[in-house]
Structure 1
Amino acid sequence: MSAIDLNARASSTYADKLAETSVLLQQAARDHAASAPGGASRITLACSLGAEDMVLAHLINQLQLNIGIFVLETGQLHPETLALLDRLKATSRAPVEVFTPVTESVVQFVDREGKDAMYKSIELRKVCCHIRKMEPLGRALAGKAAWVTGLRREQSGARAEVPLIDSSDAKITKLNPLANWTWGDVWFYIAENKVDYNPLHDQFYPSIGCAPCTRAISMGEDFRAGRWWWEDETAKECGLHVKDKAAA
């Protein structure tokens, strides 16, 4: 059974949420347009190539918005994810930038701690996340006024209060246009619009990250149970969506 067959069930307020998301993206594109004619947009979508982000990429392209898209290619992504990245780059109207970690940093870390360092301790796993995700993220967001993410309140307890617009960081605004969407809403949109998606979702991977740190989940498990499954639930973020005070 495919992820569409299993999950595509729109909530009763789906149409309202879709309209809300579309309006938010359109307004954000206007508010953070290029500083000069022909210049780069000051807003970008952080695309993990998961279901939510593929919905947002589709909306940005469908609405013909001047919002860029970037992907963090950590060097540890599944082959299925890399293949989807190639398809997105080939079909997206919006430009898709790929950011990779600094090779020397990765080599030094692996030489020092081993290729399975993420399993040894939370501290080492977070160092790996910093090298492969956080440092490239900083480059991806340099010079941007806002960024778009696929965070939803339903994803986990840690994300239960995700706002549509997060202005808590004075340097950059974070937009979460799908904050109110259910998992069923996401898949209903994918089904209705024939959105390309990662086939790992058909293998019970609702949340997909780096290959060593992601597994399929079983019926009844938490949505993010397959991410860093060997760690305590309170530690299950890589840093991309953790506020400074929480990270400290």
Structure 2
Amino acid sequence: MNIKEVLKQWAEMDVHKTKVEEARQIIAKALATHQKPYVAFSGGKDSTCMLHLVLQQKPDIMVYHWDYGPYLMPRDVEKEVIEIAKKIGTQNLVVDTSRLYTSREATGIWYREFFGRVIKELCQQGYDLVFVGIRKHESLKRKRRVERGEKLTVIDECWPLQNWTWQDVWAYIFSNNLPYHSVYDKYAPIVGWDNARFVTFFDPEFDKIGASNLDGVLMWRWRNTGGSSE
């Protein structure tokens, strides 16, 4: 039995079903107590689950996606992210990017743009809550942030998947037949489905976990020829 079939069985466990219901209740409460929420969608496995759950309760919610640009994200990889959002049912998709991407020195622009321009614009438009797909099991840093209720900006944050494990995430995706990024099928056989992540490529931020080394093998065509990442 392969890992996908095993995780489909995990979806039948009461412990998983309880977490899914908890996530739905968290979403329902957030929607009832805020006037204009939006979903932060990266295209990764966690935000894919979260987006599906939120759209079930608010199909017309604004879904915000940041495009890191061609120097950190291959164009075919980015295109697939948009396709996934639409396949899941997104009706109101906003794709944003920095107008400063002019060289390979793009790392860090995301932080300056998002915490500067983007948040200011979202506040001006009246957004008062963002659904974010972070989980306590991802890292001690995120566990502390969730437990302390620490939001990154002035906009309130809601974390529906806060208590989910990696098994819960993949179990939800496979049991609901959700589309997920093909990058995982490339990286998971090497690092494991528990460690496979969808992040920017050749990004110094992730050197500490060896991401660039693996990128150098699996994404060599994009980095060395400027062609497709396939």
| SS of aligned partner of 2:130 | strand
TM-superposed CA distance for 1:58, in Å, is 1.0
Question: Does the C-alpha gap of structure 1 residues 209 and 139 become closer, same or farther in structure 2, counting only changes over 3 Å?
Answer: farther
**Map of 1:158-169 to 2, 5 A cutoff?**
158-163=141-146, 166=149
1:67 aligns with: 61
Question: Does the C-alpha gap of structure 1 residues 2 and 23 become closer, same or farther in structure 2, counting only changes over 3 Å?
Answer: same
Q: Is the 8 A contact 1:60 1:94 kept in 2?
A: no
TM-superposed CA distance for 1:29, in Å, is 1.3
Question: Does the C-alpha gap of structure 1 residues 62 and 164 become closer, same or farther in structure 2, counting only changes over 3 Å?
Answer: farther
Q: Is the 8 A contact 2:64 2:96 kept in 1?
A: yes
- CA distance in 1 between counterparts of 2:32 and 2:148 reads 15
| SS of aligned partner of 1:212 | coil
Q: 2:181 aligns with which of 198, 202, 206?
A: 198
TM-score using structure 2 length? 0.71
Percent sequence identity is: 20
Q: Which runs of 5+ in 2 are unaligned?
A: 189-195, 215-230
TM-superposed CA distance for 1:159, in Å, is 1.3
Larger helix proportion of the pair:
2
Q: Is the 8 A contact 1:77 1:211 kept in 2?
A: yes
Q: Is the 8 A contact 2:202 2:211 kept in 1?
A: no
Number of residues of Structure 1 aligned to a counterpart in Structure 2: 199
Q: Is the 8 A contact 1:141 1:147 kept in 2?
A: no
Question: Does the C-alpha gap of structure 1 residues 151 and 72 become closer, same or farther in structure 2, counting only changes over 3 Å?
Answer: same
Q: 2:128 aligns with which of 145, 154, 165?
A: 145
Residue 211, structure 1, aligned to residue 193, structure 2? no
> Considering only aligned residues, what root-mean-square deviation do their CA atoms show, in Å?
3.5
| SS of aligned partner of 2:17 | helix
Q: 1:225 aligns with which of 206, 209, 217?
A: 209
Q: Is the 8 A contact 2:7 2:174 kept in 1?
A: no
2:33 aligns with: 31
**Map of 1:71-220 to 2, 5 A cutoff?**
71-75=65-69, 76-78=72-74, 79-89=76-86, 92-101=89-98, 103=99, 105-107=100-102, 110=103, 115=104, 117=105, 125-126=107-108, 128-131=109-112, 133-135=114-116, 137-138=118-119, 141-142=122-123, 143-163=126-146, 166=149, 171-204=154-187, 206-213=196-203
Question: Does the C-alpha gap of structure 1 residues 93 and 168 become closer, same or farther in structure 2, counting only changes over 3 Å?
Answer: closer
**Map of 1:52-63 to 2, 5 A cutoff?**
52-63=46-57
| SS of aligned partner of 2:144 | coil
| SS of aligned partner of 2:65 | strand
- CA distance in 1 between counterparts of 2:3 and 2:81 reads 16
Question: Does the C-alpha gap of structure 1 residues 131 and 229 become closer, same or farther in structure 2, counting only changes over 3 Å?
Answer: farther
TM-superposed CA distance for 1:135, in Å, is 4.4
TM-score using structure 1 length? 0.66
- CA distance in 1 between counterparts of 2:115 and 2:199 reads 14
TM-superposed CA distance for 1:192, in Å, is 1.1
Q: Which range moves more in the overlay, 204-213 or 177-186?
A: 204-213
TM-superposed CA distance for 1:168, in Å, is 5.2
- CA distance in 2 between counterparts of 1:56 and 1:179 reads 10
Question: Does the C-alpha gap of structure 1 residues 140 and 28 become closer, same or farther in structure 2, counting only changes over 3 Å?
Answer: farther
Q: Which range moves more in the overlay, 67-76 or 83-92?
A: 83-92
- CA distance in 2 between counterparts of 1:64 and 1:196 reads 19
Question: Does the C-alpha gap of structure 1 residues 171 and 135 become closer, same or farther in structure 2, counting only changes over 3 Å?
Answer: closer
- CA distance in 1 between counterparts of 2:83 and 2:144 reads 33
Q: Is the 8 A contact 2:137 2:165 kept in 1?
A: yes
Question: Does the C-alpha gap of structure 1 residues 194 and 164 become closer, same or farther in structure 2, counting only changes over 3 Å?
Answer: farther
Q: Is the 8 A contact 1:44 1:146 kept in 2?
A: yes
Q: Which amino acid aligns with 1:173?
A: D
TM-superposed CA distance for 1:91, in Å, is 5.3
- CA distance in 1 between counterparts of 2:117 and 2:89 reads 22
